[in-house]
Amino acid sequence: MACALIVRTVFRSSCVGEVMRAKSSSNLGKACNRMIWNDCPKFAKREGRIWKEDVPKPGNGRSFRRIVHYPEEYTVQPLNVTNLAGRDPVTGRVVAKGIGGGIKHKYHWIAWIREGPKEGEPLEERVIQIMDDGCRTAKIALVAGGDELKYILATENMKAGDIIKTSAHIPRIPVRGNEGDAYPLGALPMGTRVNCIERFPGQGGRYVHAAGTFATVIRHVGDRVIVQMPTKHELSFSQECMAVIGRLSNVMHNKTPIGSPQRLRELGYRPRSGLWQRKSGRHGRKIRPLPPVRVLDKPPPERPEPIVLSLPEQ
């Protein structure tokens, strides 16, 4: 097949010399390359691609496990995903090691923003069902209010039939809420366990999503609320940041052993080396004093898009 291609291209070219070279075995590769480049640019070899392309670094909130195909409007229909196996979808290079395989789960789109009335009676919704979601550790709750359905993260004792409340009002006297209720941090008394905390007001729950975790409201300082995260770090939020009361469901998650290497594969992880890695941080951290309270006062400015200059190739 390849030979046929070469011969055809060779005979089409006007240069006799090339024909001669193509015949000798030593120059065959070179001639082949050149002819393919000229005649079929589709097959052009991507020269030196290793350093030509930008491979992203892991972290910065990007997931290299899967792409979720979100529709334009919110829906409770489980969404299709494309599994990435730790690869960057643009370059196809491995970014996050140790990810790959496993059961393919559909993604349940969680409604992160809990919107409630600024004043007056809180908004009430009913929990329809508590479900498992393969894409996260905590359980999820299907919630209905009005003629809309949505998913939220299920708290520890949430069950079907419960009424959950949402309010954006900050009263003078703190609210004693029930599990699953969403209130601004400023409305909650000290010592309340919360999850799904907004980083900045109106952006949707961002902190504390994992199974069995909770943050604790430590103290109110002016119009800011200081919350202890599951890492024991203390963050200072605006008092208007919404948070959901209660500890997240699937409490036994971190106490449940994976069980077998095969089960690890089912969860979408590739085999580990088992080697003692002193420096990688995999086997625990050094105990250090906690950092000072981190104040989240305003969203970081958006980084401007770089202008990409292009030089047409000659």
The single residue among 3, 4, 16, 307 that binds another protein, judged by CB under 8 A, is 307
Segment near another protein (CB under 8 A); pick from 46-54, 211-219, 224-232, 251-259: 46-54
Query: Binding residues for another protein, how many (CB under 8 A)?
Result: 33
d(CA 225, CA 240) in angstroms, rounded, equals: 9
The single residue among 76, 85, 113, 210 that binds another protein, judged by CB under 8 A, is 76
Q: What is the DSSP letter of 106?
A: P
Q: Which of 123, 233, 245 is nearest to 189 (CA)?
A: 245
Segment near another protein (CB under 8 A); pick from 55-63, 144-152, 215-223, 242-250: 144-152
* 198, β-bridge pairs: 205
Tell whether residue 256 is a contact of another protein (CB under 8 A).
no
152-to-126, 155, 294 alpha-carbon distances in Å: 12, 9, 27
H or E stretch at 34? helix 28-39
Cα 294-295-301 angle, rounded to 5 deg: 115
Tell whether residue 179 is a contact of another protein (CB under 8 A).
no
Tell whether residue 240 is a contact of another protein (CB under 8 A).
no
The single residue among 13, 19, 27, 145 that binds another protein, judged by CB under 8 A, is 145
Tell whether residue 304 is a contact of another protein (CB under 8 A).
yes
The single residue among 9, 35, 64, 125 that binds another protein, judged by CB under 8 A, is 125
Q: Is 232 exposed, middle or buried (0-12, 13-18, 19+ CB in 10 A)?
A: exposed
Exposure of 114 in the CB half-sphere (CA atoms within 13 A): 33
Cβ contact 6:35 at 8 Å:
yes
Residue type, 277: Q
Segment near another protein (CB under 8 A); pick from 26-34, 44-52, 236-244, 250-258: 44-52
Q: What is the DSSP letter of 226?
A: E
Tell whether residue 20 is a contact of another protein (CB under 8 A).
no
The single residue among 32, 55, 128, 135 that binds another protein, judged by CB under 8 A, is 128
Chain residues binding another protein by CB under 8 A are 48, 51-52, 75-78, 103, 106, 124-126, 128-129, 131, 134, 142, 144-149, 163, 266, 303-304, 306-311
